[in-house]
Amino acid sequence: MADRITAARVIVTSPGQNYVTLKLETASGLSGIGDATLNGRELAVASYLEDHIVPMLIGRDPARIEDTWQYLYKGAYWRRGPVTMTAIAAVDVALWDIKAKAAGMPLYQLLGGASREHMLCYTHADGTDIAHALEAVETKRQRGFRAIRVQAGVPGLKRIYGVHAPGESHDAPQDAPSEGDWDTPAYLRLAPQLFAAVRDRFGPELTVLHDAHHRLSPNEAAQLGRSLEPYGLFWLEDSVPAEDQAAWRRLRQMTTTPLAVGEVFNSIWDAQTLITERLIDYIRSTIVHAGGITHVRRIADLAALHNVRTGFHGAADISPVTMGAALHFGRWVPNFGIQEYAAHPAQASEVFTWDWSFADGYLHSGEAPGHGVTIDETAAARYPYKRRYLDVNRLKDGTMWDW
């Protein structure tokens, strides 16, 4: 007799970072979890799940992953969007977790088995200036990382993107976003100096990456890409706004620096032109924000046909649950490129347990049945939700800019 879903709970917790997790339980005693974290808009997804999806899940056969995906996607009528696709992803990943546990297999076996034993990952090295960025690179190298994203503060600006000012709390509740400032010409002068210094100190073999966070025009991004060509970046990420496909077309003609984009995408339709016209080298859409394993598998297959590789988003707001799912996916996906890995806050390990691990520059999926990540609901309750926002950014004259 088919199993059925008997319980579905949304767990919102903030162990140093807000995480939303969906837990499903079945009549046969299995359980699975999926990540539903949308940084800065967490409660919208929690409500979408609790108020609209959970009632539909009770009684469904957990084995019918594809049908459930189509039911939630087509059934909503209002397709796509980050809230919808993150909610669908949470259900999808929890169902894959259950299916793999029912089979007694690590999840990557259900996807088609291992294409590799471990996944190359990159982490972040940020410095308030070039000298501090080089120190940060050295620290990360000593921890075993072989690939490092390097960002440095731009002279005259308050902060490096995504990095809070000294003394500013990372997890105090907020009623409004922090504000940063931005100066494109100053940034375009700094970036080649930064990577010249990185190559000078660490030599040609270190794998280096850089993220421009959607702040440039095509022409500015082309100047940046060209000025970085001598330093052989693994990729230049999010140089122009992700949704401006014509901008990518122009940029692609103007630089040979490899290009990555997609952390803000939530469906294959966001990436279709970029992939099929081969305007990018790496697609960063990840499981939690792009409809789960069921949908990201379609994106990865389209990418494989067009010689585009994966490079999934893995900042600290990508919960340990998505990291587990991404590493099982990465174990299988033939066109794997790299996995981002910025460590989670220390308290996250009180709430989640995970079977994946890092050693010597690589991430390992683990061999536990399912995706190998669990949540302790009692520990989660000790860390109540705190309203937090992603930063916003303004030009020096006050104009709202991309962050």
Q: What phi and psi, each to the nearest 5 degrees, are found at residue 133?
A: -65, -40
- Which residues in 238-385 belong to E strands, given as ranges? 259-261, 282-283, 309-312, 336-340, 352-354, 357-359, 362-364, 373-375
Shortest Å, Cβ 263 to ligand CS2:
6
- Which residues in 14-167 belong to E strands, given as ranges? 19-26, 31-35, 119-127, 147-152
274, 248 contact by CB (below 8 A): yes
Alpha-helical regions (H) of 333-402 = 348-351, 377-381
The letter for the amino acid at 322 is T
Instruction: For residue 180, list its beta bridge partners.
Output: 393
| Residue 305 touches which member of Mg ion, ligand CS2, none, C-beta under 5-8 Å by kind | none
CA dist., res. 323 & res. 100, Å (int): 16
Stretch that binds Mg ion, among 13-21, 26-34, 47-55, 204-212 (CB under 5 A): 204-212
Catalytic residue among 124, 210, 213, 289: 213
DSSP label of 165 = P
Would you say 123 or 294 has its CB closer to ligand CS2?
Answer: 123
283, 261 contact by CB (below 8 A): yes
Binding mask 230-269 for ligand CS2 (x = CB under 6 A): ---------------------------------x------
Would you say 195 or 332 has its CB closer to Mg ion?
Answer: 195
Would you say 65 or 338 has its CB closer to ligand CS2?
Answer: 338
Give, for 373, the enclosing helix (H) or strand (E): strand 373-375
**Minimal CA–CA distance to 177: which of 346, 52, 40?**
40
| Residue 395 touches which member of ligand CS2, Mg ion, none, C-beta under 5-8 Å by kind | none
Stretch that binds Mg ion, among 57-65, 73-81, 208-216, 244-252 (CB under 5 A): 208-216
**Is 19 an annotated catalytic residue?**
no
Q: Beta strand 352-354 with 373-375: parallel, antiparallel or unpaired?
A: antiparallel
| Pair of tokens at residue 24 | 């499903």
Residues 203-232 that bind ligand CS2 (CB under 6 A): 211, 213
Length reported for the chain:
403
Residue whose Cβ sits closest to Mg ion: 211
Catalytic residue among 161, 187, 231, 383: 161
Would you say 66 or 389 has its CB closer to Mg ion?
Answer: 389
**Is 214 an annotated catalytic residue?**
no
| Residue 39 touches which member of Mg ion, ligand CS2, none, C-beta under 5-8 Å by kind | ligand CS2
CA dist., res. 202 & res. 296, Å (int): 35
- Contacting Mg ion (CB under 5 A), which of 92, 211, 270, 355? 211
Would you say 39 or 347 has its CB closer to ligand CS2?
Answer: 39
Residue 126 binding ligand CS2, by CB under 6 A: no
Residue 42 binding ligand CS2, by CB under 6 A: no
Residue 340 binding Mg ion, by CB under 5 A: no
| Residue 315 touches which member of ligand CS2, Mg ion, none, C-beta under 5-8 Å by kind | ligand CS2
CA dist., res. 329 & res. 362, Å (int): 15
Residues 263-292 that bind ligand CS2 (CB under 6 A): 263
| Residue 220 touches which member of ligand CS2, Mg ion, none, C-beta under 5-8 Å by kind | none
Q: Beta strand 207-211 with 147-152: parallel, antiparallel or unpaired?
A: parallel
Shortest Å, Cβ 340 to ligand CS2:
6
| Residue 109 touches which member of Mg ion, ligand CS2, none, C-beta under 5-8 Å by kind | none
340, 349 contact by CB (below 8 A): no
CA dist., res. 271 & res. 250, Å (int): 16
CA dist., res. 331 & res. 328, Å (int): 5
| Residue 281 touches which member of ligand CS2, Mg ion, none, C-beta under 5-8 Å by kind | none
297, 242 contact by CB (below 8 A): no
Stretch that binds Mg ion, among 211-219, 290-298, 357-365, 375-383 (CB under 5 A): 211-219
Shortest Å, Cβ 324 to ligand CS2:
17
Sign of CA dihedral 304, 306, 307, 312: negative
280, 308 contact by CB (below 8 A): yes
Tell me the site size for ligand CS2, rule CB under 6 A.
Answer: 10
Please report, as ranges, the residues that interact with ligand CS2 according to CB under 6 A.
39, 162, 211, 213, 263, 313, 315, 317, 340, 390
Catalytic annotation, residues: 161, 213
